[in-house]
C-alpha cells in the first residue's frame, strides 16, 4: 500500500508539471490592436457615387431629405350611409382608412356592402399620402384617397395644415389632383419611368399607419404589372412593382429614384392581411404626368383609343393560334371605325412594338397608349403570319374623333362633371324607370366631389321641377347659385333617392 501511495503521488506531480509546461510553452500573444469602426473595411456593402463624385457605401440620407418636404399627409372625411349619400365600396378602402388591418384584396376577402336601401349616416375618416408636384400648390394623390370626401385636409412635413380643393380625378388610373392655397412649396420633379430598370434602388415615401414622413427602401422587382384592381372597363394597369415596404397610408405617396426624381405614385399592395408582405405597386410617372397635365389644362383626361380588343400572348396561346411569336399583344377584334382598322391592322395581328418600345404584354401596350392623347400618331409594329409589318395609327377619342375634346368650362354639365343622356319612353320602359335624364358617366366635377351619386341614376326632378330633357335641366340651372336638390331613381333599386349639392357663382 505504501508503494502504491508513492506511485500515485509521483504520477500526480508529473501530470501537474506537464500541464503547466503545456500552458507556458503554448500560450499565445493576447495583445490586440483595436481599430475605430470608421476605419474598418466595409464588407459586402452596396456602393454609390455621392454629390462630390466619391464612391461611398450606399445611403439614402440626401435623397430622403430632398423628398420628405414634398410628400404630404392627407386626411379625408366622408359621410356615408344616408339616403342622399350612397357610396359604392372601393377595393382600395382598407389601404388608407382606420380599419387598416381588415381583409384586403383577393377572392377570399370581404368588404362592407351598403346598398341604397341601407340608411343611417356615419362619418369615416381616411388617411393617405400625396406628392407636391409644383410650387403652385398642386398635389397628386390616388383617387381612392379623396373620392367622395366632404373635407380634405393636407398636412405638410413641417406640420402646417391646409384645406384642399379637388381639381380633378381619373378613376381609370386611380389618380387625382388637389390644390392647397400655399405657394413656393418644395416639390418632386417627374422623371421618365420608361428608364426605370428592374433591380434599381428606389425609396417609398409616405405616411403608413399615420406614421408621418416614413421612408422605406427597396428595389424595382418588376414592371408592367396588372393586378386587376381598378374597377373600370377602360382602366390602365401597368404598375411598377417594388419590395420597398408599403403599408396602408402610403397610398398616394412617392416612389423615387436615388436622385430624388418621381418614378411613380404608390397605389396598392398585394397582401393576405392588408399589411406589407413584400409586394407594392406604383403608377408609373409617365402616366401620372400625362393625367395631371390633362386634368389641370382640360379639366378631365384626354384618353386616346386604338379601337381594338386585345389579349396578351404566351406560349400556350401561341400554340393555340399557331403564332410565330410567344410575346406581344394579340388583336382579338377591331371596332368598325377604329383608328387601328383604318391604318390597316387586322384581327390576328400580334402587336410587338410601339414606336421604339417593345411590347410583351397588354399592360405594356395600355401604358404606352395611356401616355398619349387623341390625334397623336404611333408607329405600331405587328407580326402577321410570321412577317413583320409597321402601321402608322392616329389615336381617336371616345367619340371616334382624332381631336382633343373641347368643353365650355362655363357649361353647367361641365361644372357638374357628368355625361347625361335623355331617357325617352321606349328606353324608360326597358329599364322600368320614369322618363328623365340618366347620368351615363361621371367625370371630375360637382357631383363627384359633393355627392355620392352613381352612374345610372335617372334624374326626374330638379328642385322639385319635373325634367325630361337636357334643355329643361340647363334652363333650371342657368345662372343658379346655391343649393340644388336632385330627385330620381336607380334602375336596379326600389324607391326614390335624393342628392343635394351647391353651385358657386
Exposure string of 270-288, with b = 16+ CB inside 10 Å and e = fewer, is: bbeebbbeebbbbbbbbbb
Active-site annotation holder among 170, 174, 349, 364? 174
Number of neighbouring beta carbons within 10 Å of residue 409 = 9
250 is in an annotated binding site: yes
Residue 40 and residue 53: Cα distance in Å, rounded? Answer: 22
Grid-cell match 392588408, residue found: 274
Q: Is 194 a catalytic residue?
A: no
Grid-cell match 419590395, residue found: 243
Candidates 315, 343, 323; CA nearest to 385 is 323
DSSP annotation string for 262-291: EEEEEEEE--SSSS-SS-EEEEEHHHHHHH
Residue 309 and residue 340: Cα distance in Å, rounded? Answer: 11
144 is in an annotated binding site: yes
Could you tell me where the DSSP H helices lie in 198-323? Answer: 285-298, 315-321
Grid-cell match 475605430, residue found: 36
Q: Checking DSSP bridges between strand 214-225 and strand 239-242, what pairing results, if any?
A: antiparallel
Q: Sign of the CA dihedral 408, 410, 413, 417? A: positive
479 is in an annotated binding site: no
Residue 149 and residue 167: Cα distance in Å, rounded? Answer: 13
Q: Checking DSSP bridges between strand 138-141 and strand 122-132, what pairing results, if any?
A: antiparallel
Strand partners, 331: 310
CB 120 within 8 A of CB 130: no
What's CA 172's distance to the chain center, in Å?
Answer: 10
Q: Is 251 a catalytic residue?
A: yes
Q: Checking DSSP bridges between strand 357-358 and strand 377-384, what pairing results, if any?
A: unpaired
Strand segments, DSSP code E, in 185-288 are 201-206, 214-225, 239-242, 254-256, 262-269, 280-284
Residue 436 and residue 468: Cα distance in Å, rounded? Answer: 4
Q: Is 144 a catalytic residue?
A: yes
Q: Sign of the CA dihedral 126, 129, 131, 136? A: positive
Question: Which grid coordinates belong to 477?
Answer: 340651372
Q: Residues, the chain, total?
A: 505
- DSSP 8-class letter at 38: G
Active-site annotation holder among 251, 271, 338, 362? 251
Residue 260 and residue 278: Cα distance in Å, rounded? Answer: 23
Strand partners, 501: 484
CB 78 within 8 A of CB 149: yes
Where is the binding site for substrate, in residues? 144, 174, 249-251
Where is the binding site, in residues? 144, 174, 249-251
Report, as residue numbers or ranges, the catalytic residues.
144, 174, 251
Amino acid at each position: 500500500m505504501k508503494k502504491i501511495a508513492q506511485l500515485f503521488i509521483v504520477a500526480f506531480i508529473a501530470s501537474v508539471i506537464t500541464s503547466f509546461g503545456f500552458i507556458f510553452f503554448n500560450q499565445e500573444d493576447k495583445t490586440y490592436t483595436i481599430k475605430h469602426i470608421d476605419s474598418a473595411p466595409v464588407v459586402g456593402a452596396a456602393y454609390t457615387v455621392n454629390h462630390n463624385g466619391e464612391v461611398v457605401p450606399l445611403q439614402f440620407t440626401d435623397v430622403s431629405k430632398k423628398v420628405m418636404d414634398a410628400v404630404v399627409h392627407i386626411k379625408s372625411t366622408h359621410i356615408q350611409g344616408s339616403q342622399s349619400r350612397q357610396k359604392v365600396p372601393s377595393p382600395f378602402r382598407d389601404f388608407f382608412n382606420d380599419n387598416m388591418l381588415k381583409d384586403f384584396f383577393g377572392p377570399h376577402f370581404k368588404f362592407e356592402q351598403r346598398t341604397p336601401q341601407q340608411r343611417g349616416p356615419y362619418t369615416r375618416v381616411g388617411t393617405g399620402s400625396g406628392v407636391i408636384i409644383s410650387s403652385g400648390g398642386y398635389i397628386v394623390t390616388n383617387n381612392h384617397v379623396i373620392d367622395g370626401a366632404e373635407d380634405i385636409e393636407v398636412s405638410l412635413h413641417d406640420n402646417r395644415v391646409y384645406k384642399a380643393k379637388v381639381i380633378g380625378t381619373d378613376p381609370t388610373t386611380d389618380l387625382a389632383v388637389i390644390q392647397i392655397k400655399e405657394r413656393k412649396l418644395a416639390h418632386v420633379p417627374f422623371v421618365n419611368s420608361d428608364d426605370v430598370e428592374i433591380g434599381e434602388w428606389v425609396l417609398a415615401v409616405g405616411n403608413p399607419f399615420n406614421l408621418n414622413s416614413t421612408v422605406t427602401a427597396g428595389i424595382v422587382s418588376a414592371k408592367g404589372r396588372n393586378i386587376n384592381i381598378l374597377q373600370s372597363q377602360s382602366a390602365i394597369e401597368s404598375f411598377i412593382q417594388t419590395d420597398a415596404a408599403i403599408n396602408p397610408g402610403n397610398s398616394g405617396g412617392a416612389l423615387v429614384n436615388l436622385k430624388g426624381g418621381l418614378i411613380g405614385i404608390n397605389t396598392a399592395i398585394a397582401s393576405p392581411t392588408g399589411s406589407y408582405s413584400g409586394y407594392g405597386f406604383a403608377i408609373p410617372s409617365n402616366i401620372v404626368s400625362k393625367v395631371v397635365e390633362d386634368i389641370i389644362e382640360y379639366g378631365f383626361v384626354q384618353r386616346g383609343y386604338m379601337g381594338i380588343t386585345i389579349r396578351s400572348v404566351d406560349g400556350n396561346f401561341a400554340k393555340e393560334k399557331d403564332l410565330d411569336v410567344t410575346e406581344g399583344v394579340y388583336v382579338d377584334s377591331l371596332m368598325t371605325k377604329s383608328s387601328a382598322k383604318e391604318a390597316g391592322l387586322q384581327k390576328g395581328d400580334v402587336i410587338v412594338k410601339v414606336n421604339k418600345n417593345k411590347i410583351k404584354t397588354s399592360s405594356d401596350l395600355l401604358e404606352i397608349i395611356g401616355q398619349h392623347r387623341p390625334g397623336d400618331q404611333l408607329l405600331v409594329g405587328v407580326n402577321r403570319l410570321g412577317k413583320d409589318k409597321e402601321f402608322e395609327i392616329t389615336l381617336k377619342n371616345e367619340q371616334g374623333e382624332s381631336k382633343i375634346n373641347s368643353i365650355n368650362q362655363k357649361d353647367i354639365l361641365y361644372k357638374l362633371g357628368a355625361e347625361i343622356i335623355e331617357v325617352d319612353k321606349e328606353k324608360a320602359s326597358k329599364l322600368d324607370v320614369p322618363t328623365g335624364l340618366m347620368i351615363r358617366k361621371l367625370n371630375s366635377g360637382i357631383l363627384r366631389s359633393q355627392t355620392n351619386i352613381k352612374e345610372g341614376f335617372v334624374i326626374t326632378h330638379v328642385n322639385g321641377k319635373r325634367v325630361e330633357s337636357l334643355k329643361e335641366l340647363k334652363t333650371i340651372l342657368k345662372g343658379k347659385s346655391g343649393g340644388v336638390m336632385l330627385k330620381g331613381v336607380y334602375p336596379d333599386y326600389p324607391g326614390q333617392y335624393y342628392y343635394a349639392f351647391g353651385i358657386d357663382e
